[in-house]
Amino acid sequence: MSPGNVAVFHGGKMKLIDRRLKLTELLLRCSATALALLALILIVTNTQVKQIFTIEKRAKYTDMKALVFLVVANGIAAAYSLLQSVRCVVGSMKGSVLLDKSLAWAIFLGDQAMAYISVAAIAASAESGLIGIRGEEKLQWMKLCNMFGKFCNRSAGGTATALLASVALVFVSCISAFSLFRLYGGGATQRHPNLSVTK
Amino acid sequence: MSPGNVAVFHGGKMKLIDRRLKLTELLLRCSATALALLALILIVTNTQVKQIFTIEKRAKYTDMKALVFLVVANGIAAAYSLLQSVRCVVGSMKGSVLLDKSLAWAIFLGDQAMAYISVAAIAASAESGLIGIRGEEKLQWMKLCNMFGKFCNRSAGGTATALLASVALVFVSCISAFSLFRLYGGGATQRHPNLSVTK
């Protein structure tokens, strides 16, 4: 091999790290898909009817805009994570390491967007939920969970499940950042047993 | 230099990228400090008094828990970004490139936490703000911004400023991810004009 066109190949340790990282990424993406879908189902199917004198009151997720945002965000997260899981499986079957910078950038940006959208949706939903549980006395926003306890509990369960999905998405976004930025490692100090400097 | 202990030094292009990146990081961290502080001041000093018949009603940020969370988050973000800015300036004066993995990990984790906390605080505040502007009719949470217009506008301004700070924090977290994970670049394919493989 001539100077000026030298490829530094994988060491055994890096290969092992690569394999473990790929497996972790796949597991996290599958978990995110399942958890986001579960959260979506928990929230969408949640409803409670309450008879107050002669008036029938029905609580459902569309009454609270934050829950609608959470459902939409989880729908997108589930679909995105499923697609990425398939990509991971196909990549593993081919046995290739991600070296295409454009693809690595696309995955990195997609993962970052998904993680932040997911965190924002949970924060908004948690805020609405807290008002529902405690009320905002000074603003005369009444607490509602004393009336619709079952509905509130299931919404809290859905939000907690979405939070777990979100944690998986955050970790996955760190892995895709690693997969992208390691490709720019030429600028850092590195050591390799099979290399020498030619002067 | 003997094989087995070879340092790959910076190319001219990487040096230029490093310089630009350092400058961008410093500018982003300084912007985040200033914007987070401005958002904090805008929200904390925001108050409006309204006379309703004989009752005097005063709106302030402590009435809305989401705004308290936003103030706390922005206080932490401002202090953190200031400290990091100082570190950037000291690092630039020394002219060194970040090669210490432990420090790079600490900065990366701190930046990630700050970015997500900041996004969560804005989402919670925006959700409360939307209820204040539109109300949640089905839940009988009244809109308040028709009564406390000036207070609402300034809160919206504070949240928007916090959003800008948050955007800076998100970009900064990408830069620190780059600075960390490039240190693990040994596993990727790399080319360097001054290297040859010894067999």
- How close A15 comes to chain B (CA, Å)? 8
CB contact under 8 A, A136 and B8: no
Residue of A nearest to B136 (CA): A64
Residue type, A74: N
What was the pLDDT predicted at B50? 86
pLDDT tens figures, A141-167: 988 898 899 999 999 999 999 999 999
Q: Encoding tokens for residue B74?
A: 């922005």
Of A123, A124, A187, the CB nearest to B10: A187
Please report, as a single letter, which amino acid is at residue B177: A
- Name B71's Cβ contacts closer than 8 Å, sequence gap at least 6: B40, B43, B44, B61
Helix locations, B47-181, DSSP H: 65-94, 101-134, 149-181
Give the nearest partner residue to B195 out of A3, A121, A127, using CB atoms: A3
The residue among A59 and A168 whose pLDDT is bigger is A168
Burial class (CB in 10 A: 0-12, 13-18, 19+), A43: buried
Rg (CA), chain A: 23
pLDDT of residue A192: 40
pLDDT of residue A198: 36
Strand intervals (E) in A4-133: 47-52, 55-60
Tokens representing A122? 């949970």
Share above pLDDT 90 across residues of chain A, in percent, rounded to a whole number? 63
Nearest to B182 among A141, A188, A195 (CB): A188
Distance from CA of A145 to the nearest CA of B (A): 11
Q: How many CB pairs under 8 A join A and B?
A: 210
CA-based angle B26:B30:B35, to the nearest 5? 145
Residues of A with Cβ-Cβ distance to B12 under 8 angstroms: none
Q: Across the interface, do A192 and B186 touch by the CB < 8 Å criterion?
A: yes
Residue of B nearest to A135 (CA): B141
What band does A121 get if pLDDT is binned at 50, 70 and 90? Answer: very high
Contacts of B138 in chain A (CB under 8 A): 63-64
**Most distant pair of Cα atoms in chain A: their distance:** 92
- Which residue of chain B has the CA closest to A118? B120
Tell me what the pLDDT averaged over chain A comes to.
Answer: 86
ipTM: 0.85
- Per-residue pLDDT for chain B (199 aa), expressed as one digit of tens each? 444 333 344 467 777 888 899 999 999 999 999 999 999 999 999 999 988 888 888 889 999 999 999 999 999 999 999 999 999 999 888 766 666 889 999 999 999 999 999 999 999 999 999 999 998 888 889 888 988 999 999 999 999 999 999 999 999 999 999 999 999 886 444 444 333 333 3
- Of A5, A63, A66, nearest to B127 by CB-CB distance is A66
Please report where in the chains the tokens 């830069």 appear, as a residue: B175
The confidence score (pLDDT) of residue B11 equals: 60
- Contact between residue B128 and residue A132 where contact means Cβ atoms under 8 Å apart: no
> Which positions in chain A touch B7 (Cβ < 8 Å)?
189-191
> Contact B178/A185, CB-based, under 8 Å?
no
User: B170: which chain A residues are within 8 Å (Cβ-Cβ)?
Assistant: 112, 116
pLDDT of residue A97: 62
Residues 6+ apart with CB under 8 A from A30: A81, A85
Pairwise CB contact (< 8 Å): B182 & A178: no
Cross-chain residue pair B178–A181, CB shorter than 8 Å: yes
Residues with Cβ within 8 Å of residue B127, at least 6 apart in sequence: A65, A66, A123, A124, A125, A127, A128, B66
Give dist(CA B78, CA B169) in Å, integer: 10
Predicted pLDDT at B68 = 96
**φ, ψ for residue B197 (rounded to 5)?**
-90, 130
Residue among A139, A144, A128 at smallest CA distance from A66: A128
